[in-house]
Amino acid sequence: MADVFGSERVQYVCTCGSRRPITRVYFCRYCSKLRCSDCVSHEVDSQYCSNCLEYTTSAEARMRKSKCTSCFDCPTCMHTLSVRATTVQVPSPEDANKTVHRKVYYLACGFCRWTSRDVGMPDQHVASGGWHEHESPWEKRINTLFEHYRIVAQKDKIEKDHKKSTSYRTSYLHFSDRYGVSAAVAKKFAGLASSGAKEDPLKMCEDIAPAQASAEVEGLPASIFTEPVNVAKLTTITQRHLQPDFQPVSGSQLYPRHKQLQIKRSQRCRGCDHNLSKPEFNPSSIKFKIQLSAYHHIPELRIKSVTEFKDGEECFVELTVRNPTPHTTHVSFLPLEESLDELTCQAVLPECDFTLPPRDDTAEYDDSTEATHYKDDPNIVTFRKANKLGFYIRVIPLEDQDDVIVGFQLRHDFTNMVVQLQADHREPQVIWMTHVVIVNLGPKKYSSS
């Protein structure tokens, strides 16, 4: 029952109609509208490795196939591999009869104890780089196909652009009589134009041998029928999907995988093209340059307490509303203009308006800052502390329904500081906004025990 009091139970309806919790919704201060992940355009700012935090440019990431060159993942459990050092005895370069100690490095997994020595990978004399790369037998064929279809796509694009330009182009001879150009001069210029059009800006793509289908299937080895199958040594479906170019059958064929690069992305509003979220460029930083999350600007609604619901009877539900802005906010609740099919109860909302003081980080630890000058109805308001307020709503559950779902409109004022700074006057602009809120109060058969 603990999830009933979480923020996932209270969903705000976005401008596009999708329903998300307030923690997954953005608020555009320029459009004054809610934006979800479907209403924003995503842009990749940077690519980096989550293990070594090395920044990689887009061109380098494309060449490396979005993988880090120095970090590896365990092929068995997919955890990050660490480099371990050990000493081995090797013949002395000065005297072959003597041995000297030399430090070597190998890859090891601290979770499943897998090591690169299990698959016969040679140890390295340096801690980073130089690891043996197991090449796929189909790598050359795949690269040839990539290059071939890249040229084909480029030729198709040029031909399409050429058709668009020629469809609106007017013939030179059409204007010859209008401007008094002789026929000889017109033929001369027409010949020059036609000679230049014969040159192909792209090289002709080379013919590649198509793949030949074969009806013959390679037979199974004799060991399949003579030796018992050890399931512990076979690879799982997940392990095979992670290495599609090798398709390992046994654990002895599993090789380390280069770690995939992570990205830092920014989101833009599709309505006004302003940034809603932009992280810092440094891979080791978790801060944001711009972060217009809705829970920083829109009053947050949560469930505080619920009771056992009975069909056709009024039940009290305690909700809380919090003001996250540094300005005084007035909040009121209104019924929905259009009924929704998934609602399973009727709501009796408070008719009064609530005034929430601005957010103060120090007020949470100071009991003397509790406001006493607000004239709240004790039958509706349960408590008030700093910028947070608790209140009752009454719900009447319908019959033959499992969960109690209520919907209403949240109306509040918002002080737009962005419009204030852009305008000539210095007075703050107050905007009234209305949001549709859907609250899932949980199942009817709820007991406080």
Structure tokens at 353: 């308006």
How high is the pLDDT of residue 187? 55
Residue 327 inside a domain? The answer is yes
Please count the helices (runs of H) and the strands (runs of E) in the chain.
Answer: 6, 22
**How far is residue 257's CA from residue 122's CA, in Å, rounded to a whole number?**
16
How high is the pLDDT of residue 186? 54
Neighbour-count burial of 139, counting CB atoms closer than 10 A to its CB (0-12 exposed, 13-18 middle, 19+ buried): exposed
**How far is residue 370's CA from residue 384's CA, in Å, rounded to a whole number?**
7
Residue 438 inside a domain? The answer is yes
Enumerate the β-bridge partners of residue 397. 345
How high is the pLDDT of residue 1? 46
**String of DSSP letters for 185-230:** HHHHHHHHHHHHHT--SSPPPPP-PPPPP-S--PPPPTHHHHS---
**How far is residue 7's CA from residue 247's CA, in Å, rounded to a whole number?**
43
How high is the pLDDT of residue 168? 56
Q: Which of these, 414, 393, 431, 409, lies nearest to 294 by C-alpha position? A: 414
Helix (H, G, I), strand (E, B) or coil at 139: helix
Q: How many domains does the chain have?
A: 1
Q: pLDDT tens digit string along 317-338?
A: 999 999 999 999 999 999 998 8
The domain in which residue 433 lies consists of 2-24+299-443
Residue 194 inside a domain? The answer is no
Residue 365 inside a domain? The answer is yes
pTM: 0.71
**How far is residue 289's CA from residue 292's CA, in Å, rounded to a whole number?**
10
**How far is residue 417's CA from residue 29's CA, in Å, rounded to a whole number?**
8
Residue 188 inside a domain? The answer is no
Q: Which of these, 293, 368, 353, lies nearest to 21 by C-alpha position? A: 293
**How far is residue 259's CA from residue 68's CA, in Å, rounded to a whole number?**
5
Q: Which of these, 56, 4, 28, 15, lies nearest to 277 by C-alpha position? A: 28
Structure tokens at 430: 């107050």
How high is the pLDDT of residue 275? 92
Q: For 199, what's the count of Cα atoms within 13 Å in the CB-facing half-sphere?
A: 5
How high is the pLDDT of residue 185? 52
Residue 384 inside a domain? The answer is yes
Residues of the chain with pLDDT under 50: 1-2, 173, 175-176, 178-179, 181, 189, 193-202, 204, 420, 447-449
**How far is residue 320's CA from residue 304's CA, in Å, rounded to a whole number?**
6
Residue 65 inside a domain? The answer is no
Contact (CB, 8 A) for 275 and 10: no
Q: pLDDT tens digit string along 31-74?
A: 889 999 898 999 999 999 999 999 988 889 988 889 998 899 99
Q: Count of CB atoms within 10 A of residue 432's CB?
A: 11
Strands 315-322 and 257-260: unpaired
Helix (H, G, I), strand (E, B) or coil at 154: helix
Strands 388-397 and 55-56: unpaired
Neighbour-count burial of 131, counting CB atoms closer than 10 A to its CB (0-12 exposed, 13-18 middle, 19+ buried): buried
Residue 394 inside a domain? The answer is yes
